[in-house]
C-alpha cells in the first residue's frame, strides 16, 4: 500500500520544517512554498482561492490524487481554503496555530496591522531586520534559543515583494461561515501562549469542525514545531498513525486446515 503524501504549508515567515520531518515518516512529503517564496514566482493574483488552485495543479503534476495537509498560520488558512474547495483531495487535515479569519470585525484593525507589519520595510529595513523585530514576541517564554534563530533565518530568506503580497492577502481571509463544511478528520494544534492564534479561538474552530480534536501544547507560542518539537511531533504521530491504521487492510480470516 502506497503511503498518502503529507503536504506542508508554511507560515508567512517561510518554511522551517526540519524538526517536523521525522514525525511524518514513512509518508512522502511535499513542502509546498507559497507563491513568491523559495524561488517561485508570484501568481498573477495573490489570493487564497488562487493559491488553492495552484496547489491543486501542483498535486496534479506530482500525480497526487489525495493528501494529508499540515498548515501553519497562514498555511493553515490555505489548508482550510483547499479543504473547502477540493474536499475529495484531502484525507486528513492538521490546522496548526491558525484561525478561521484574520483579525476581528473592525475594518480598521486590518489597516493598522498592515501598517505595522510593513513599516520596517517601508523604513528601508531588510527582511532579516524585520524578522528579528517581529518574531521573538511570538514565541513562548520557554522557547529554546534555537527556535528564534531558525525562524529568523527562514524569514530572512523571504523576498520582500512576496512578503508584502502575502501580508496583504492574509488580511482578506474569513472562512468562519464555511468551516463547518470541512469534512476531513482534523487535528487542531494550539500553543498555550500563542498571541496570534490563542487556544480559545482554536477551541471554537474545533467546535465548528465536526470530526476534529484540539491539542494545546503547554507553554508554546506561535512556533510550537520549533519551540517544543517533541510534543508537537507526538501529536502529529498519533493523528497520522490513526489514519494509517484505518487504511490498513484487515487480515485475512483463518481457514480450517
CA distance 96 to 214: 10
Instruction: Write down the domain spans for the chain.
Output: 6-247
N-term to C-term CA, the chain: 29
* 87 secondary structure, DSSP code: G
pLDDT value for 245: 59
CA pseudo-torsion sign 18, 19, 22, 25: negative
Q: How confident is the model at residue 2 (pLDDT cuts 50, 70, 90)?
A: confident
When comparing pLDDT for 110 and 233, which is higher? 233
pLDDT value for 104: 64
Residues in the chain, overall count: 257
Entry pTM: 0.93
Q: How confident is the model at residue 257 (pLDDT cuts 50, 70, 90)?
A: very low
Which helix H or strand E contains 202, and what residues bound it?
A: helix 199-208
Average pLDDT score over the chain: 93
Is 3.40.50.410 the CATH classification of the domain at 6-247? no
Q: How confident is the model at residue 105 (pLDDT cuts 50, 70, 90)?
A: low
Checking DSSP bridges between strand 212-217 and strand 186-191, what pairing results, if any?
parallel
Q: Are 16 and 151 in contact (CB under 8 A)?
A: yes
Question: Tens digit of pLDDT for each residue in 12-42?
Answer: 999 999 999 999 999 999 999 999 999 999 9
Q: How confident is the model at residue 109 (pLDDT cuts 50, 70, 90)?
A: confident
Average pLDDT over residues 42-69: 98
Alpha-carbon Rg for the chain, nearest whole angstrom, is: 18
CA distance 237 to 187: 11
Average pLDDT over residues 46-58: 99
pLDDT value for 252: 47
Q: Are 108 and 46 in contact (CB under 8 A)?
A: no
Cis, peptide link before residue 26, omega less than 30° from 0: yes
Which helix H or strand E contains 69, and what residues bound it?
A: strand 67-72
Please state which of the ranges 71-80, 102-111, 246-255 shows the lowest mean pLDDT: 246-255
CA distance 141 to 85: 38
DSSP-H helix ranges across 89-191: 107-122, 127-134, 145-156, 160-170
**Cα separation values, 59 from 65, 77, 134, Å:** 7, 18, 33
When comparing pLDDT for 101 and 2, which is higher? 101
Question: Tens digit of pLDDT for each residue in 186-240?
Answer: 999 999 999 999 999 999 999 999 999 999 999 999 999 999 999 999 999 999 9
In terms of phi and psi (left: phi > 0; alpha: psi -120 to 50; beta: otherwise), the region of 190 is: beta
**Cα separation values, 218 from 4, 163, 199, Å:** 30, 30, 11
Amino acid at each position: 500500500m502506497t503511503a498518502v503524501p503529507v503536504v506542508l504549508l508554511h507560515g508567512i515567515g517561510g518554511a522551517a520544517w526540519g524538526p517536523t520531518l521525522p514525525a511524518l515518516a514513512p509518508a512522502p512529503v511535499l513542502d509546498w512554498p507559497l507563491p513568491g517564496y523559495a524561488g517561485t514566482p508570484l501568481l498573477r493574483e495573490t489570493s487564497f482561492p488562487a493559491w488553492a488552485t495552484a496547489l491543486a495543479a501542483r498535486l496534479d503534476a506530482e500525480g497526487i490524487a489525495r493528501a494529508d495537509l499540515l498548515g501553519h498560520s497562514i498555511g493553515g488558512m490555505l489548508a482550510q481554503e483547499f479543504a473547502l474547495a477540493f474536499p475529495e483531495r484531502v484525507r486528513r487535515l492538521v490546522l496548526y496555530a491558525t484561525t478561521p479569519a484574520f483579525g476581528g470585525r473592525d475594518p480598521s484593525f486590518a489597516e493598522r496591522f498592515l501598517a505595522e507589519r510593513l513599516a520596517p520595510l517601508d523604513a528601508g529595513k531588510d527582511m532579516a531586520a524585520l524578522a528579528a523585530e517581529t518574531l521573538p514576541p511570538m514565541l513562548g517564554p520557554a522557547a529554546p534559543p534555537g527556535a528564534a534563530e531558525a525562524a529568523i533565518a527562514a524569514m530572512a530568506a523571504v523576498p520582500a515583494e512576496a512578503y508584502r503580497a502575502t501580508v496583504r492577502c492574509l488580511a482578506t481571509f474569513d472562512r468562519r461561515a464555511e468551516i463547518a463544511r470541512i469534512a476531513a478528520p482534523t487535528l487542531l494544534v494550539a500553543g498555550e501562549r500563542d498571541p496570534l492564534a490563542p487556544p480559545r479561538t482554536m477551541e471554537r474552530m474545533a467546535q465548528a469542525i465536526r470530526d476534529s480534536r484540539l491539542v494545546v501544547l503547554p507553554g508554546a507560542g506561535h512556533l510550537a514545531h520549533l519551540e517544543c518539537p517533541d510534543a508537537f511531533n507526538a501529536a502529529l504521530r498519533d493523528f497520522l498513525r490513526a489514519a494509517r491504521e484505518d487504511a490498513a487492510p484487515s487480515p485475512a480470516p483463518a481457514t480450517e486446515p
